[in-house]
Amino acid sequence: MTAPVSISMEVNGERVEAQVTPRLNLADFLREHLQLTGTHVGCEHGVCGACTVRVDGEIVRSCLMLAVQVDGAAVQTIEGLSDSGEISDLQAAFRDRNALQCGFCTPGMLMAAQDLLRQNQTPDREQIRAHLAGNYCRCTGYQAIVDAVESTAQARAGRSA
Amino acid sequence: MTSSKTETLSVLDRPNSYIGKTVPRPNLDRLLQGRAQYVSDMELPRMAHVVFVRSPHAHAKILSLDGAVARRMPGVIAVVSGKELAEIITPWVGVLSHLKGLKSAPQNAIAIDRVCWQGEAVAAVVATSRAAAEDAAEHVAVAYQELQAVTDMGTALDRDTPVIHASLGDNLAFERIHTAGAVDQAFAESDAVVEADFIFGRHTGVTLEPRSVVADWNAAEARLTIYQGTQAPHMVQNIAALHLGLRESQVRVVCKDVGGSFGIKVHIYADEMATYALSKLLRRPVKFVADRVESFNTDIHARDHRCKGKIGVKRDGTITAFEIDDLTGIGPYSMYPRTSAIEANQVVNLVGGPYTNKNYRARARVVFQNKNVMCQYRAVGHPIACSVTEGLVDLAAMKIEMDPLEIRRRNLIADDAYPCASPSGLRFEQLSHHAALKKLVGMMNYDALRAEQTALRRKGIHRGIGVASFIEVTNPSAAFYGVGGAKISAQDGVAVRLDAQGSVICQTSITEQGQGSESLTAQIVGSVLGVSMDRVRVILGDTDMTPYGGGTWASRGAGIGGEAALQAAKILRKNILDVAAAILQTMPGELDIVTDAIVNVSDGAQRIELNELARIVYFRPDTLPPGIQPELMATKHFVPREYPFAFTNGVQAAWLEVDTDTGFIKLLKHWVVEDCGTIINPQLVDEQIRGGVVQGLGAALFEKCVYDERGQLTNANMADYLVPMSGEMPDIDVGHVVSPTLESELGAKGAGEAGTAGAAAAVSNAVNDALRPFGTIITEIPLTPQVILTALRRI
């Protein structure tokens, strides 16, 4: 079970082939093998949400998933979402509202927020708070984050209306 | 957000000034795109990883330590014991001379012979990867003989309790007794005297990025570069050099992005010292990143106080005296170099601080125990002092049947009574308790809430209102640490220069952990110089690159570093105008700088752009009049001298609902009015307040390091140690009163800790208000369902 395993996947639209030990988790794979350090490791047991990434369209805790489990999958990290422009309005709202201080939770927070906005175009504050309730932020007290997500939802709804 | 109008300050009140304006922090995109550089992200050539073997016992003798098997494991570079490392790095003792009688024992980077808390490192395993080091660490064989652990601070001083450090004689680290006025007489003459025991859970900072360091000893340069998420790079430089036998010039400390600090990352930790030493020993970069279990077991803890409090009051509401007896347990060592006596000392200083009462007696005792070390965490001592003071004030009000707002109105120091001093000797320059309270009452619509509370009570819904006034220590002078012998700078420095394209580069000794240090520096420099903010680049967090200074802690960045920036920018502005006058053949007083160009004061007409001025100065100085030597760089330092601390004040209120069946508390709304003097960026101040409040709410409701009687931390993970998450937190309204300090031209005081100072007190008072019909008073935090239901005798 300790011999390296060949895996291949798409990460941020790029084909990636790698040899990984079966015990390597996805967060460490992204950070240490692909140098995608925007995915952060906060608790290493699925509680804090800092390592949230998207695998085949669903957000996951990359510290709770093994790299071998994403063989054949499409993975998106904060770097990918930033470069594609998918969340540029959300990022701008975070910047304007100062919805981040140290920034360590921010990539995971943006991942979770975008996940909500893809499911629910007009979430209210309670729904936003509930959806982000698995992402720990020690700095902001959350209100600015909720404000930024709410204003992004309203702006998107306005554009699509 | 509402804000009172402040008196304008000439140098800041200029066209296009950024002072008092909400502008986004520069460089946020780096954080938003996952392209920041935290120490945990760093990799260097030949970098090795260290993992520490840590004691499973709270107190034990190390009988033997065998790393032979581990050394043969794949990827292992070295297994190092405490004794071996002691040849590289010397031990330290965390005492300061101004805390009279404070004692502690020598602490080593890695334990030698004996461990004193669960989690203390006994060996280091260095390997090519962290995984390899972790694998090998499991094969380091350590034999322990368990010793009796001192865990209960209540019995730590008993005669039959073992003394943790025999050389110290007892387990008392520090004691302070303070008396002012005629306390006994005041109590005797009171119409009512109320006493209560206040209990504060031990909790910790839980920075989302754990403590991280990369130490890189370059043997050829004989120089150590330390990459560390720290709040105080020059302090780290001084101490690393001191204990490694180096000159400070041989140590560079670089601090890039920091994933949360809150006081956790302002101390010197044994495992970080070990990492510096290991790099020197192994002549290669060594990286240490604490995992979450290590963070809980070794990041400083805070609070853990039991405080008996007593208040006397007259029937008319006049507070006649305060008395406290505070006890706190700090683990086996006083932390280095700031010591673990500061929090208890602050409690003595701060109790009763907002009020006119002059009769005050206090005792604080700080004891050793076999638990993780305790030290300064955001709002040091303030939440204890505020909860005790405000809890007692509410109890007194209840006793004489007075509204909690009314008793405060009758006792808060009048806004026109300054300067004045507290019975503990604190000097207040200018506070605004009454204005703040008045504003708060308006914001929360107090009378309407009382009516709602009454109406809901009839339906069996128990809501409560809690109010807490507070004072906050900010802008500390050398009185905090320097006078006690710690080499922690109280002053900060800023260098500003105009580059060859007319942009500004600004090097400051304050640091950034997300508060907005870069932003406030750029706002001040841009405003004074007349340069747009996007042309101001701020460099911080590097002892090779910035002036010498304290860093960012104790709510000092804006007030001290900001003033240094202002003064440096004023000089550069003068120098620029001198050159401009020479070029334009006019007088400097006829010219101003507005939006990146020199203009006439008289008609505002643009004369020459800054980039053109810079071009001439740097590339065609031959065209300047003879005798002109432009100085387009200026450096200034600042430290407060007149007042040891710039006190701020404020008041908070909580509105919440207690479910008397489940014991759960639902926070409905929270209000804060505070006075931090000149506000540089309203949004950043408000977000500091909100974040601080939520840390205080965590302490109030959830956070507690739970130890068993053997000194085992039983909830050292984020699933069992609860922190505030978005679902439970209320929206927080923030308002301001503005009383600038006259000690600086900027007038800014600190704002980083005000939220944390008063949040728990407001919540506790609100819970007791909600539970009034049940005739129970709770003076313990965190207010868990168990605590609530026990008080209600439901369990």
Determine, for residues B691 and A77 on separate chains, whether the beta-carbon distance falls below 8 Å: no
- Spans of all domains in chain A: 5-80, 87-160
**Best mutation site among A142, A146, A149, A151 for testing chain B: the one with the most B CBs within 10 Å?**
A142
Give B582: exposed, middle or buried? Use CB within 10 Å, 0-12, 13-18, 19+. Answer: middle
| Burial degree of B131 (CB within 10 A; 0-12, 13-18, 19+) | middle
Task: Look at chain B and count its residues.
Answer: 795
pLDDT tens for B360-408 read 999 999 999 999 999 999 999 999 999 999 999 999 999 999 999 999 9
DSSP, res B691: H
Domain A87-160 has CATH 4.10.640.10: no
B483 by Cβ neighbours in 10 Å (0-12 / 13-18 / 19+) ranks as middle
B32: contact with A, CB 8 A cutoff? yes
Number of residue pairs across A and B with CB atoms under 8 Å?
Answer: 169
Instruction: Give me the sign of the Cα torsion angle B370, B373, B379, B382.
Output: positive
Q: Is B106 helix (H, G, I), strand (E, B) or coil?
A: coil
| Cβ-defined contact of B723 to A136 (cutoff 8 Å) | yes
Topology, domain A5-80: Ubiquitin-like (UB roll) (3.10.20)
The sign of the torsion formed by the CA atoms of B22, B26, B31, B33 equals positive
Inter-chain touch A94–B32, beta carbons under 8 Å: yes
Q: What is the per-residue pLDDT for B454? A: 98
φ, ψ of residue B473 to 5 degrees: the values are -75, 125
Using DSSP's 3-state secondary structure scheme, residue B716 falls into: coil
Q: What is the pLDDT of residue B8?
A: 42
- Is the alpha carbon torsion for B508, B514, B515, B521 positive or negative? positive
Question: Could you say which residues of chain B have pLDDT below 50?
Answer: 1-9
Peptide bond connecting B740 to the previous residue in cis, omega within 30 degrees of 0: no
Write out chain A residues lying below 8 Å of B729, CB-based.
129, 141-143
Collapsing DSSP to helix, strand or coil, B353 comes out as coil
Instruction: Report the run of H or E that residue B267 belongs to, with start and end.
Output: none
Residue B14's pLDDT is 80
Residue pair B572/B17 in contact (Cβ under 8 Å)? The answer is no
Q: Could you tell me whether strands A5-11 and A14-20 are parallel, antiparallel, or unpaired per DSSP bridges?
A: antiparallel
What pLDDT is stored for residue A160 in this prediction?
A: 77
pLDDT tens column, B82-126: 999 999 999 999 999 999 999 999 999 999 999 999 999 999 999
> In angstroms, what CA-CA distances link B384 with B349, B644, B705?
11, 21, 17
Query: In angstroms, rounded to a whole number, what is the distance separating the alpha carbons of residues B19 and B633?
Result: 22
B693 and chain A in contact, CB less than 8 A = yes
* Tokens of residue B429, six digits: 């320059």
All domains of chain B in start order, with CATH: 8-36+491-638 (3.30.365.10), 39-147+210-258+264-298 (3.90.1170.50), 380-475+645-791 (3.30.365.10)
Helix (H) or strand (E) holding B694: helix B682-701
- Reading the block at residue B688, the tokens are 């500091």
Contact B3, B682 (CB under 8 A): yes
Among partner residues A95, A129, A144, which is closest to B32 by beta-carbon distance? A95
Residue of A101, A127, A128, A132 to mutate when probing chain B, most B C-beta within 10 A: A101
pLDDT score of A1: 59
Are the Cβ atoms of A91 and B33 closer than 8 angstroms? yes
The model scores a pTM over 0.95: yes
pLDDT at position B3, please? 41
Angle in degrees, CA A37, A39, A43, rounded to 5: 115
Contact at CB, B732 and A106, closer than 8 angstroms: no
Given a cut of 70, whether residue A151 has pLDDT beyond it is yes
Which amino acid appears at position B514 of this protein?
G
Long-range contacts for B63-68 (Cβ within 8 Å, ≥24 apart)? B63/B143, B63/B144, B63/B145, B64/B141, B64/B142, B64/B143, B65/B122, B65/B123, B65/B140, B65/B141, B65/B142, B65/B143, B66/B140, B66/B141, B66/B142, B67/B123, B67/B125, B67/B140, B67/B141
Strand order in the sheet with B606-609: B591-594, B597-600, B606-609
**pLDDT for B12:** 78
Q: Which residues of A touch B208 (CB under 8 A)?
A: 40, 42, 48, 50, 102, 104-105, 136-138
For B560-619, the pLDDT digits (tens) are 999 999 999 999 999 999 999 999 999 999 999 999 999 999 999 999 999 999 999 999
Q: How many CB atoms lie within 10 A of CB B428?
A: 21
Q: Under 8 Å CB-to-CB from B465, ≥6 apart: which residues? A: B404, B444, B446, B449, B450, B453, B653, B654, B655, B765, B766, B769
DSSP-derived letter for residue B479 is: T
- Cβ A110–B718 below 8 Å, yes or no? no
Chain B CB contacts of A139 under 8 Å are 260, 514, 691
Chain A contact for B9 (CB, 8 A cutoff): no
Shortest CA gap B397–chain A (Å): 31
Residue B457 backbone phi and psi in degrees, to 5: -60, -35
Cβ A138–B695 below 8 Å, yes or no? yes
Query: Mutate which of A77, A143, A150 to test chain B, going by most B C-beta atoms within 10 A?
Result: A143
Contacts of B67 (CB under 8 A, 6+ apart): B79, B81, B123, B125, B140, B141
Distances in Å between the Cα of A83 and the Cα atoms of A145, B326, B360 are 21, 55, 61
Average pLDDT score over chain B: 96
d(CA B309, CA B288): 43
Q: Which of 507-546 (B) contact A at CB < 8 A?
A: 513-516
Closest-approach residue (CA) in chain B for A104: B259
Tokens of residue B161, six digits: 């309790």
B687 with A140: Cβ contact below 8 A:
yes
What pLDDT was estimated at residue B199? 98
| pLDDT at position B4 | 43
| Mutation target vs A (from B33, B287, B715; most A CBs, 10 A cutoff) | B33
Residues from chain A that touch B691, judged by Cβ atoms under 8 A, are 101, 138-141
Task: Report residue A25: phi and psi, to 5°.
Answer: -85, 165
Chain A residue with Cα closest to B38: A104
pLDDT digits (tens, 9 = 90+) for A73-107: 999 999 999 999 999 999 999 999 999 999 999 99
3-state secondary structure labels for all residues of chain A: CCCCEEEEEEECCEEEEEEECCCCEHHHHHHHHCCCCCCCCCCCCCCCCCCEEEECCEEEECCCCEHHHHCCCEEECHHHHHHHCCCHHHHHHHHHCCCCCCCCCHHHHHHHHHHHHHHCCCCCHHHHHHHCCCCCCCCCCCHHHHHHHHHHHHHHHHHHC
Distance from CA of B28 to the nearest CA of A (A): 6
Rounded to whole angstroms, the Cα distance separating B115 from B112 reads: 8
| Inter-residue contact B491 to B638 (CB < 8 Å) | yes
